[in-house]
Structure formats: structure tokens, C-alpha cells
């Protein structure tokens, strides 16, 4: 998606430790017009998939998912919550997600009321790097017996293994910008084709 | 807002400890069409206030704020993040927020880059009860030297002190549904006029 790539080149900041800071437009301060273009692009890509639910994870995914839902005939948006306790009762699907950034493990939870076996679920998230969050969301959809339509990712770090791993498992992943490499000394960002 | 009140009466569940569960349409599973009506109503109420930024707090506020921004000429949405550490450097405004629900204290942080003294800021949040989060957001706007236009709240628990306290301090608060009382035994919900 050209507009997004231009925005990343113009406003993204490469930080040490493979961090790409895009908080001036994507995940702290939000350009909602850009979100609309992102939503339209996800709709173009998943147009014929009869999506019935959009699943994301707090916090940065929520706004993107809500605006995207406007292009998917207002499919309900469900967001997984992060929970410190694994003991959350029988009303929730839960999956363990390792955070490479924070070096710890979180449980993500989704109420059983909001995904059912007839659902065709599109996953939306801002970043894909090691794929841990995405794997957790897929695990939850599988627990519900629902269908994973695919994932719509805004920025994929192509030099980290998540995308490759999950595509090899047969998951459809559409990333609007795939970063091939970035350099925190020069600030250079190179996109994959 | 009649549509919202009907939705609360139909789908809201009163739980022990003054908890109103509205996660089937507001803050876990999301009805984005309802968010649009909420955004339109905030626009009607704050139409002539020349809002330049919308400020909210993760996680549930983000989606509401993004859809609301579509009615405010795409004013940038900034969401405050919750942080465990108070030692976050000079790049952030920070405020301490006591959580009555969890019995602890969080810091909320906003990058200094995204609110400046010329901003007229509308605060958006899903709930107002004791007002701690709202006070923290106001504190951050004041630190930035910006103007608090007011707060747009989806559901105010009128039987808790936050709304009264902050209105007495001169803050404009517009709540789309104000709950006067609720009963976890009968499930009854009574709205204020």
C-alpha cells in the first residue's frame, strides 16, 4: 500500500533493537483517515471471504479493527484482552502469548459468547514480527471451532520469522507494508516487494 | 441518547459491586454502527468547539475515539497508555490514576509530541464512575498547556461521585446515558433524566 509506505518512510523512526516507531500516526497518535485507507485495502483483499467477525487484540489493534469493520458491512469487532492470570473461569477462551519485547508471557482471553463455530473470522493487527500474538488469536479461533479467514496486518517485519512460519502453516496473511530491513544508525527502511 | 439506553436495557447486565457489563456491544464485542451514532451525538454536542485533538485512554476508549474523530473532521486521536513505571523519561506527560476496581495505582502517559498548547482537546471515554481516569487525562492536558473542551462519556454511573466532582470544578461533561441506580438482584437499571 503506497500511501502507508510513504507515511512510514516520512514519519517512521528506526530505533535500536529492531523497533520501528510509528506512534505519530499508527499507535499512539492516530491518523483516522489513514485507518480508513487501511480498512479499504483490507476489504479489497478479503472482499469475497464472507467475514462475519473481526478479531484483534488490545490496545493498538482496536481502532484499526473498528474502522476496518465499517468496510465489512459492520461485522462485529471482538478484541482479545491481555490477562495476568490464567485462572479466568469457563466463560473465556484463553491462549498463552510470549512477548519477545517484554520477555514475559501473557494470557489473552476472549469471551466464549462472541466467537462461535459458524464465524468466519478476519484477524486485524498493527504489527507482525515473531507472530506470537497472531498465533494466540488463531488458537482462540480454533478453540471456538470457527474459521480463520486470514490476517490483515498493517506492518510486517519481514526479517523476523512470524510471517514465514504462519504462512507455512497455511494461514493467509496480507500485510500492507513488509519491511525487508531497517538500520537504526542510518534510519534507512527497505520494503520487500 | 435513546438508542444507547435501549441497548443498555436490552443487553446490559448488572453485576455485584456496581458493575455494569456491556461487553456484548461496547467494550469487548463492539457494535461499530452504534459507535457511529455515539460519534454523531458527540459531534452534535461539541459541534462549535473547534476541537483539534481527541484524547482517550487504552483500551476501550480507542475505538470510540477513532469513530468519533470521523465526525470531527478527522481530528487526530491520541490515546494515553497505562504504564507500571513512573520513571519514563522526559518525553512524556504522566499522571497517576488510582483504580478503584483493581485497588491499585497506574501511571498514564502521553508523549509530549502529540498535545501542544494550541490544542483544544475533547476527551472521550466509555465509562465515568469515580472520575480518576478523567482527572488524569485533564491533568495531562493541563500540563501541555492545552485547553480542555470537555469530556464525551458513553455511560456515566451517576450514583458514583466522579461526574459531580468534576462538573463542580468547571469541567464540561456530556454523558450519553447517566445511570441513576441499578440493582444486581433484580437486574433493574434506572436512568437519570
- Spatial distance between the Cα atoms of B172 and B157, rounded to a whole number of angstroms: 16
Between β-strands B147-157 and B120-128, what pairing exists: parallel, antiparallel or unpaired? parallel
CB pairs under 8 A between A and B: 98
pLDDT at B45: 98
HEC sequence for chain A: CHHHHHHHHHHCEEECCCEEECCCCCCCEECHHHHHHHHHHHHHHCCCCCCCEEEEECCCHHHHHHHHHCCCCCCCEEEEEEECCCCCCCCEEEEEEEECCCCEEEEEEEEHHHCCCCCEEEEEEEEECCCHHHHHHHHHHHHCCCEEEEEEEEEEECCCCHHHHHHHCCCCEEEEEEEEEECCCCCCEEECC
Contacts of A113 in chain B (CB under 8 A): 24, 29
pLDDT class of B125 with cuts at 50, 70, 90: very high
In this prediction the pTM is 0.97
The residues spanned by each domain of chain A are 2-82+111-191
User: At residue B2, does pLDDT exceed 90?
Assistant: yes
- The CATH class that applies to domain B2-191 reads alpha beta
pLDDT class of B18 with cuts at 50, 70, 90: confident
User: At residue B14, does pLDDT exceed 90?
Assistant: yes
Indicate yes or no: CB of B67 within 8 angstroms of CB of A67: yes
Indicate yes or no: CB of B23 within 8 angstroms of CB of A111: yes
Q: CA of A110 to nearest chain B CA: how many angstroms apart? A: 8
CB atoms within 10 A of CB B174: 15
Q: CA of A97 to nearest chain B CA: how many angstroms apart? A: 18
- Best probe of the A interface among B15, B23, B66, by most A CBs < 10 A, is B66
Residue of chain A nearest B82, judged by CA positions: A59
pLDDT at B103: 80
Contacts of A40 in chain B (CB under 8 A): none
Contacts of B29 in chain A (CB under 8 A): 76-78, 111, 113-114
Point out the residue among A69, A70, A78 whose CB comes nearest to the CB of B28: A78
Average pLDDT score over chain B: 95
Q: Of A100, A76, A96, nearest to A87 (Cα)?
A: A96
B173 contacts: CB under 8 Å, gap ≥ 6:
B128, B134, B150, B151, B153, B156, B163, B166, B167
pLDDT class of B193 with cuts at 50, 70, 90: confident
Q: Give DSSP secondary structure letters for B64-103.
A: HHHHHHTTTTTPPEEEEEEES-S---TTEEEEEEEETTTT
Q: CA of B63 to nearest chain A CA: how many angstroms apart? A: 4
Residues B16, B182 contacting (CB under 8 angstroms): no
Residues A156, A4 contacting (CB under 8 angstroms): no
**What does the pLDDT average to over B136-148?**
98
Contacts of A74 in chain B (CB under 8 A): 31-33
CB contact, 8 Å: A63 with chain B?
Answer: yes
Q: Which B residues, 80 through 109, put their C-beta within 8 Å of a C-beta on chain A?
A: 81
pLDDT at B102: 74
**What does the pLDDT average to over B40-53?**
98
Q: CA of A193 to nearest chain B CA: how many angstroms apart? A: 30
Residues B141, B55 contacting (CB under 8 angstroms): yes
**What does the pLDDT average to over B50-62?**
97
Q: CA of B39 to nearest chain A CA: how many angstroms apart? A: 13
- Spatial distance between the Cα atoms of A64 and A129, rounded to a whole number of angstroms: 18
- State the residue for C-alpha cell 472482499: A47
Share of chain B above pLDDT 70, in %: 99
Point out the residue among B29, B113, B114 whose CB comes nearest to the CB of A76: B29
pLDDT at A61: 97
pLDDT class of B87 with cuts at 50, 70, 90: low
Question: Rounded to 5 degrees, what are φ and ψ at B74?
Answer: 60, 40
Q: Of B98, B151, B90, nearest to B124 (Cα)?
A: B151
**For chain A (length 193 residues), average pLDDT per consecutive 10?**
98 94 97 98 98 97 98 98 78 91 87 98 97 98 98 98 98 98 97 93
Q: Which residues of A89-100 are buried (b: 16+ CB within 10 A; e: fewer)?
A: eeebbbbebeee
- The CATH class that applies to domain A2-82+111-191 reads alpha beta
Q: Of B180, B122, B111, B177, nearest to B146 (Cα)?
A: B122
CB contact, 8 Å: A58 with chain B?
Answer: yes
Indicate yes or no: CB of A32 within 8 angstroms of CB of B66: yes
State the ipTM, two decimals: 0.97
CB contact, 8 Å: B35 with chain A?
Answer: yes
**What does the pLDDT average to over B29-46?**
98
Contacts of B114 in chain A (CB under 8 A): 24, 28-29
User: At residue B158, does pLDDT exceed 70?
Assistant: yes
Amino acid at each position: 500500500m503506497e500511501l502507508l509506505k510513504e507515511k512510514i518512510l516520512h514519519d517512521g523512526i528506526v530505533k535500536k533493537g529492531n523497533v520501528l516507531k510509528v506512534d505519530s500516526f499508527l499507535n499512539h497518535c492516530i491518523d483516522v483517515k489513514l485507518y480508513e485507507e487501511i480498512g479499504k485495502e483490507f476489504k479489497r483483499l478479503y472482499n469475497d471471504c464472507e467475514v462475519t467477525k473481526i478479531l484483534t487484540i488490545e490496545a493498538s489493534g482496536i481502532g484499526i479493527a473498528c474502522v476496518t469493520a465499517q468496510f465489512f458491512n459492520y461485522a462485529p469487532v471482538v478484541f482479545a484482552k491481555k490477562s495476568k492470570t490464567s485462572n479466568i473461569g469457563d466463560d473465556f477462551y484463553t491462549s498463552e502469548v510470549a512477548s519477545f519485547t517484554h520477555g514475559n508471557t501473557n494470557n489473552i482471553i476472549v469471551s466464549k459468547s462472541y466467537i462461535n463455530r459458524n464465524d468466519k473470522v478476519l484477524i486485524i493487527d498493527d504489527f507482525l514480527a515473531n507472530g506470537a500474538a497472531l498465533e494466540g488469536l488463531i488458537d482462540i479461533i480454533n478453540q471456538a471451532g470457527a474459521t480463520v479467514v486470514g490476517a490483515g496486518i498493517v506492518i510486517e517485519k519481514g526479517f523476523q520469522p512470524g510471517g514465514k512460519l504462519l504462512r507455512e502453516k497455511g494461514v493467509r496473511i496480507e500485510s500492507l507494508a513488509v519491511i525487508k530491513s531497517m538500520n537504526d544508525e542510518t534510519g534507512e527502511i527497505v520494503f520487500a516487494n
